[in-house]
Structure 1
């Protein structure tokens, strides 16, 4: 049964990433996933439940990928390499998922019931980033984590929109040096 849920969530990400949030319906997700009618609504009864489910699904996938990429990273250069790789993946191979994430971010501002889900997921990313920066010796990992995440978000938006080939390494190096210097 969980396979059906996973197929629905994968399909929902494609629908939102390729067609926008307004295209997200239970029926479209069923069709995109090749599932029988009503399958998605069995897992997500309402549109808000589906939106929340997709947000959590995207965040879980991104955290798993980030954790795997960072596992061998123990120095600032290795962390920068991993972050650059993740940014390039987010704007290349996984661009559809990333577009879906950003589209959902904007949508949930009008859906107060979903906003806590998004904030919880953001908090998990901040905590994870703060811990990595603390491991590297950052004197203020809390604010450095927020700054680094904001920089990464801006780089992603630029690469998805106006500057698809924009290099990211220089910006990441600068942010990490700043975080480690205090």
Structure 2
């Protein structure tokens, strides 16, 4: 059974992911979660604390879910492509609302790095892990490959969230990976 705090955070993520950051108020979170008025503010006294809590919650949930999708061992380049395809499809399919909320928080909190800290730490971890995989696969310029691959990933995620949710992913991931591994 979820705690009051978890119910509030789940509701907050859904509000931000479906209605935008302006929908994030204590009262709306309480109503959306079916909680008594004031429940959310018992855990997050200010809006900044609520935004920070949502950021931490998204990072923790994505780390858990992506860890399961991306933590699978792979034997070859096709396995690597399949693994990243699965991650992108997870972020833009079953967890699309949460992913939209993450992007909304990135844009909202650009002027306050402390609010974004959990999401930035998570992204840095994914980047370091991805760089290691690109090195293992023989990327001749791993830093440039990492930046290109991460930009590609953001691009296809945004494209699927905003333009074409059904665009095939695997062929695009394959092109990006092959480009990152070429000279």
Say whether the fold is shared (TM-score over 0.5).
yes
* DSSP 3-state at the match of 2:3: helix
The answer to whether the 8 A contact 2:21-2:104 is kept is yes
Cα RMSD (Å):
2.2
Please give the per-residue CA displacement for 1:73-102, whole angstroms capped at 9, x wherever unaligned: 323211211211222222222111111111
Q: 1:19 to 1:59 in 2, by over 3 A?
A: same
**2: CA distance, partners of 1:139 / 1:59:** 31
Post-superposition offset of 1:13: 0.5
Between the two proteins, the alignment pairs up a number of residues equal to 182
Which residue does the alignment assign to 1:78? 79
Structure 1 stretches lacking a partner, 5+ long? none
Distance 1:141 1:65, change over 3 A: farther
Scaled by the length of structure 1, what TM-score is found?
0.86
Give 1:178's aligned residue. Answer: 179
Show structure 2 runs of 5+ residues with no match: none
Greater Cα offset, 148-157 or 121-130? 121-130
Matches within 5 A, 1:1-182: 3-74=3-74, 75-182=76-183
Please say if residues 108 and 115 of structure 1, whose CA atoms lie closer than 8 Å, have aligned partners that are also in contact.
yes
Q: CA deviation at 1:117?
A: 4.2
